[in-house]
Structure 1
Amino acid sequence: MSALTYEVKDARSPVAVWLRTTFPECREIQAEFRVAAGPQRVVMPAGVAPGTQGAAIDFWLRMLVDPHPSIALPLVGLLSGRAPCVRAGGELLGELAAGESPRRTASGEVELRMRPAGFADRGDEWWARVCYALALLVELYRAASVEHSRLMRLDESSGAADLLGLATDVEVADLVAMRGLAVERLLPGLPAGPVTTGMTFDGSADLKADADLIAGGMLVDFKAGQGGRPRADGTRAASLARTDLDQLLGYALMDYSNRYGLHSVAVYAARFGYLAVWPIAELGERMAGHPVDLARMRTEFAQVLRGQLPPYQAQRGW
């Protein structure tokens, strides 16, 4: 099964086509985001892999707000057997899970959680290295090729300390800086209420989709990109891609039964320390150019995922 993040990047996918014809207006929102985000506060160091670093800070931000976040995907990656790090990964995940046992949900998914409060005495460097290691393990599950992964530096005798040593000092400092900025800029902007991270939706049975965070009915997607192209002075402005907006809309629409009671969606730009929030009804109206019925939009989107997407995937060879 494909994933929402892939389908919104494929301009010919029925998912992308429906979203962009139903909600065609985006430039004004993108311009507002670019201006409001202000200057980049944590500049990405040279030589850092953006995808791995982004996944690592995602894990750390989830651990800041969720008392029991999932570490299931790193376990799935580890169990794939695609890298010789079973012992190292097993030691790390075993420590993080602190007595928790993996289990399978009713849908067949692996579930494993950790309790960040149990590691409150650990320093920022440890947390950064742990999150980087988790990001590498997830790549064993998600990446098409892992032959150049740093995990290939390990062997069957490697332990958790070797796995934690794969992040460079520069990458650790970058993660620590983004984490510090999030404490200042993200956490105060989250509404009170139930917190869930790494959640799936009703529509995830039709198309894989798991979001970063829902807090008090607000869905937040973390973005750790460095922004647009460098200006003449080397600085960058924040950017909000059309695919980012499609992803937000897709998440909201895939909550068919309104299980999470979403009232707004948001993007947190981790390198800018900027949290942009839109009430769902307002965002839908601005992008559609007219008021929208969320319940009807969810029904229509489900029809796209169940009726139009499977034949397209078959044609694409999936």
Structure 2
Amino acid sequence: MSALTYEVKDPKSPVAVWLRTTFPNHKEIQAGYRMAAGTARILPSLAVAAGTQGAAIDWWLRMLVDSAVPIDLPLTGLRLRRVPCVRAGLELLHDLGGLDGDGGVRRVDPTRFAGRPDEWWARVCYALALLVELYRAPSVDGSRLTRLAPDARCADLLALANDDEVADLIAMRDLAREHLLPALSPGPVTTGLTFEGSTDLAADADLIARGVLVDFKASQGRPRADGTRAAGLARTKLDQLLGYALMDYSDVFGLHTVAIYAIRFGHYAAWPITEV
């Protein structure tokens, strides 16, 4: 089964063709977003692995807002691939409370670890991102997980994030506390969820809070001549938001608004679904 994110990136995909034909008027939304987002506030060093880093900060943002975070994807990754990190990965999920003694899967309650230092949180979220890559990536030949021996432990897994990545994650978390958390509607928050339509086209959203679907984006934006980076909103990102909303076939989540939080810009943008 294909995934929504792959389909919207292929302009010849029937999903992309239908979305762009049915909803052709995107330029006004793109222009407004670019103007409001401004320039990037946090940029990574060359030592930061951008793809894994984006997934890692997604995990940390979920941990900030949700008291019951699902860990299905990293567990699926561990079960899917023959890699030497299985022991270390399962130990991490168990330590987080995501696995019980009998192998049962539970949601993780981040409030249990409220006193842990920022570096621990950064390394945990980076490790979770690496484990999800076992599920999502077509190949894991270059993954840092292959550095681990079969007898590696959780501490070895947590050590895979480098110091630049830890510092970058902490900076993005700090910015989110200032700009994302106040923007969310008070009340229950659900993260890492799937839709009724996910059985037809794989898709899982970052966050839904009281009818508002929020997608996290960790892009650095487009480079400018002065060395800064400007925000952009590609048509594929809008198609992804539209796809999420439309895949809630029976309106289970009562979605009325879609939003993007641009992590490195500290910018939260929301649009009523009817407007989009």
Partner of 2:8: 8
Partner of 1:76: 76
Separation of aligned partners in 1, 2:136 and 2:82? 11
Query: 1:211, CA displacement in angstroms?
Result: 0.2
What is the letter of the counterpart of residue 255 of structure 1? D
Partner of 2:130: 136
| Number of aligned residues | 275
What is the aligned counterpart of 2:157 among 163, 167, 171? 163
Residue 70 of structure 2 aligns to a residue whose secondary structure is coil
Partner of 2:260: 267
Separation of aligned partners in 1, 2:103 and 2:37? 40
Residue 24 of structure 1 aligns to a residue whose secondary structure is coil
| Structure 2 residue ranges without an equivalent (≥5) | none
Separation of aligned partners in 2, 1:35 and 1:238? 8
Query: 1:99, CA displacement in angstroms?
Result: 5.8
What is the letter of the counterpart of residue 57 of structure 1? I
Query: 1:49, CA displacement in angstroms?
Result: 1.8
Residue 219 of structure 1 aligns to a residue whose secondary structure is strand
Pair 1:121 & 2:115 matched: yes
What is the aligned counterpart of 2:210 among 211, 216, 221? 216
What is the aligned counterpart of 1:148 among 137, 142, 148? 142
Partner of 2:18: 18
Deviation digits for residues 105-125 of structure 1, max 9, x if unmatched? xxxxxx542110110110110
Partner of 1:88: 88
Instruction: Go from structure 1 to structure 2 and tell me whether the alpha carbon gap of 1:279 and 1:83 turns closer, same or farther (over 3 Å shift).
Output: same
- After superposition, residues 43-58 of structure 1 pair within 5 angstroms as 43-58=43-58
Pair 1:194 & 2:188 matched: yes
What is the aligned counterpart of 1:280 among 268, 273, 276? 273
> Kindly, what percent of the aligned residue pairs are identical?
68
Residue 199 of structure 1 aligns to a residue whose secondary structure is strand
Partner of 2:176: 182
Separation of aligned partners in 1, 2:226 and 2:106? 46
Partner of 1:226: 220
Separation of aligned partners in 2, 1:22 and 1:102? 46
TM-score (norm 1): 0.84
Q: Indicate if the aligned counterparts of 1:193 and 1:217 stay in contact, CA closer than 8 A.
A: no
Residue 214 of structure 1 aligns to a residue whose secondary structure is strand
Partner of 1:258: 251
Q: Give the RMSD, CA atoms, in angstroms.
A: 1.2
Query: 1:102, CA displacement in angstroms?
Result: 5.2
Q: Indicate if the aligned counterparts of 2:42 and 2:265 stay in contact, CA closer than 8 A.
A: yes
Instruction: Go from structure 1 to structure 2 and tell me whether the alpha carbon gap of 1:102 and 1:65 turns closer, same or farther (over 3 Å shift).
Output: farther
TM-score (norm 2): 0.97
| Structure 1 residue ranges without an equivalent (≥5) | 104-110, 284-318
Q: Indicate if the aligned counterparts of 1:82 and 1:140 stay in contact, CA closer than 8 A.
A: no
Instruction: Go from structure 1 to structure 2 and tell me whether the alpha carbon gap of 1:218 and 1:98 turns closer, same or farther (over 3 Å shift).
Output: closer
Q: Indicate if the aligned counterparts of 1:266 and 1:276 stay in contact, CA closer than 8 A.
A: yes
